Amino acid sequence: MMWQRCTKRLALFVLAVALFSSSLLSGMPDVEAAEAQPNLQLEVKSAILVEASTGKILYKNNENLPLPPASMTKMMTEYLVLEAIKEGKIDWEEMVPVSEYAFFIARIPDSAGVYLNMGEEHSVKELYKAMAVVSANDATALLAEKVAGSERNFVDMMNQKAKELGMSNSRFVTSTGLPADELGPYSPDTDQDNVMSARDAAILARALIRDFPEALEYSKIPRLKFRENFEKANYNWMLPGLPSEYPGADGLKTGYTDEAKYCFTGTASRDGIRLISVVMGTSSDMKRFAETKKLYDYGFSNYKLVKKHDKEQAIKGHETAEVKKGVELTVPAVTGDQVTVLAKIGEEGKLTPTVTYRSDLTAPIKKGQAIGKVVYAEQGVTEADYLQADDFANLGTDLVAAQDVEEASWIRLLFRSIIQFLANIINDVIG
């Protein structure tokens, strides 16, 4: 009886320890989650940090919350202007007379601008520089009118392009980011205003510099001389020679209104990595750059791009793919491009390749034809870890055929079938 009581007490003690340990461990932070989402203590309403080539999200905070973007709106105007130039609808050197609307905006108190005057005309390039470098609202509105005939038409184009780019938490009402109720007689007939999430701002910034790399040639200009007596610094103070200079910074767009507070969509490139950052709702000019610096410092010090394979290199253990109805039964496979992966510094060796070949691979096969894919990805990564669904769906690098494989003749296929049939009978007998 005494032995049974001791045993019972021991069991109760072990159970109590187990419950206490479980409770203690449940209150501890998850190590892997902490590594994936660092505590940067940003003083922002929302933020996101993305590696541009892969779309991998390195940090996020309220990234899907629609907020007033202020002049970050102009990234969409820049996109549509550059698209119109590419399509030949307007020309860089084309002269644009100042409109009454642009002249009105130039006179709005505290509105960023280059003070356009009636009777003046400026080239598309001059106006674009004014928009990209010193966030000129008057130049922006004039470009919108030039591209679409009116700002209202241009806003329709902005919203359509947002849908095309996959920006699901954005709405545009003005081309400039100015609140609609500040436009006096030119105010749109709506009680809504521009909104954009940090994720959407990153999507837009990435599309802008991907589709129109020349945008960075303008956004990185630290100072603009628009007239003989008008020179102004870029609002992006992270550029060389400005108060918050950061090595590698070359874009992209700041924003401020009373409601939006201080916002910034930035980009910087270093050691082959380009980061895109967004901070929204910070408390001051300097604060938006200080918070962006935290993001950049984290990204550049913790991640690197690693070359795993050269172009036209075979993947060890996956050198060939099976081919149906071919003269040869397999085809050599090589990488269609250089394989570069984003890895956390110190963990480069943990990424192992996953190779898949098309199950319906049938001759004839042409050299260079995509026949499969090699993917390097961290364990447990999901679509939510990437800026857009396509980034996750398109992970990896194509594997291509290293040589042609001709289609086998019917008689070859017949003999092959007979041989296979006989082999199966022999295996059944032996088995």
316 flagged as catalytic: no
On whether both 222 and 371 belong to a single domain, the answer is: no
- CA pseudo-torsion sign 25, 27, 28, 32: positive
On whether both 261 and 364 belong to a single domain, the answer is: no
CB-based contact 413:325 (threshold 8 Å) = yes
In this structure, is residue 414 part of a structural domain? no
- DSSP state letters, 122-177: EEHHHHHHHHHHH--HHHHHHHHHHHHSSHHHHHHHHHHHHHHHT-TTEE-S-SS-
On whether both 127 and 245 belong to a single domain, the answer is: yes
Residue 416, pLDDT score: 61
Give the separation between CA 52 and CA 9, rounded to whole angstroms.
60
Instruction: Report the CATH number that the domain containing residue 342 is assigned in CATH.
Output: 2.60.410.10
In this structure, is residue 324 part of a structural domain? yes
Domain boundary among 303, 328, 345: 303
In this structure, is residue 7 part of a structural domain? no
Mean pLDDT across the stretch 231-245? 97
Residue 136 to residues 74, 104, 116, 147, 201, Cα–Cα distance (Å): 10, 13, 10, 17, 19
Pick 33 or 360 by higher pLDDT: 360
Q: State yes or no: pLDDT of 11 exceeds 70.
A: no
Looking at this protein, which amino acid is placed at residue 283? S
Sequence-ordered strand ranges (E) for 326-401? 330-335, 339-344, 353-357, 370-376, 397-401
In this structure, is residue 250 part of a structural domain? yes
On whether both 219 and 335 belong to a single domain, the answer is: no
Residue 425, pLDDT score: 75
CB-based contact 199:63 (threshold 8 Å) = yes
Residue 409, pLDDT score: 73
End-to-end C-alpha distance for the chain, whole angstroms: 61
Domain boundary among 269, 303, 337: 303
On whether both 181 and 320 belong to a single domain, the answer is: no
150 flagged as catalytic: no
- Among the listed residues 207, 238, 212, 233, the one whose alpha carbon sits nearest the alpha carbon of residue 222: 233
Q: Which of the following is catalytic: 45, 46, 60, 135?
A: 135
74 flagged as catalytic: yes
- Among the listed residues 185, 210, 190, the one whose alpha carbon sits nearest the alpha carbon of residue 387: 210
Q: Which of the following is catalytic: 46, 60, 71, 219?
A: 71
* Torsion angle of C-alpha atoms 43, 292, 56, 34, degrees rounded to 10: -40
Give the separation between CA 252 and CA 278, rounded to whole angstroms.
10
Q: Are strands 273-282 and 339-344 parallel, antiparallel or unpaired?
A: unpaired
pLDDT single digits (tens) 194-229: 999 999 999 999 999 999 999 999 999 999 999 888
In this structure, is residue 155 part of a structural domain? yes
Domain boundary among 277, 303, 329: 303
Give the separation between CA 325 and CA 418, rounded to whole angstroms.
14
Rounded to the nearest 5 percent, the helix, strand and coil shares of the chain are 40, 25, 35
313 forms beta bridges with none
Q: Which of the following is catalytic: 45, 56, 74, 253?
A: 74
In this structure, is residue 386 part of a structural domain? yes
Q: State yes or no: pLDDT of 27 exceeds 50.
A: no
**DSSP assigned state of 396:** S
On whether both 271 and 325 belong to a single domain, the answer is: no
Q: State yes or no: pLDDT of 178 exceeds 80.
A: yes
Looking at this protein, which amino acid is placed at residue 36? A
On whether both 295 and 337 belong to a single domain, the answer is: no
Q: Which domain holds residue 224?
A: 46-303
> CB under 8 Å to 111, separation ≥6 — which residues?
105, 137, 138, 178, 182
pLDDT single digits (tens) 375-419: 998 778 899 999 999 999 999 999 999 999 888 776 766 666 677
Instruction: Report the CATH number that the domain containing residue 294 is assigned in CATH.
Output: 3.40.710.10
On whether both 67 and 166 belong to a single domain, the answer is: yes
On whether both 298 and 317 belong to a single domain, the answer is: no
Residue 415, pLDDT score: 60
On whether both 207 and 350 belong to a single domain, the answer is: no
Query: How many independent structural domains does the chain possess?
Result: 2
On whether both 110 and 235 belong to a single domain, the answer is: yes
Residue 427, pLDDT score: 81
On whether both 104 and 193 belong to a single domain, the answer is: yes
Q: State yes or no: pLDDT of 282 exceeds 50.
A: yes
Q: State yes or no: pLDDT of 37 exceeds 90.
A: no
In this structure, is residue 169 part of a structural domain? yes
Q: Exposed/middle/buried for 26, CB within 10 Å: 0-12, 13-18, 19+?
A: exposed
In this structure, is residue 205 part of a structural domain? yes
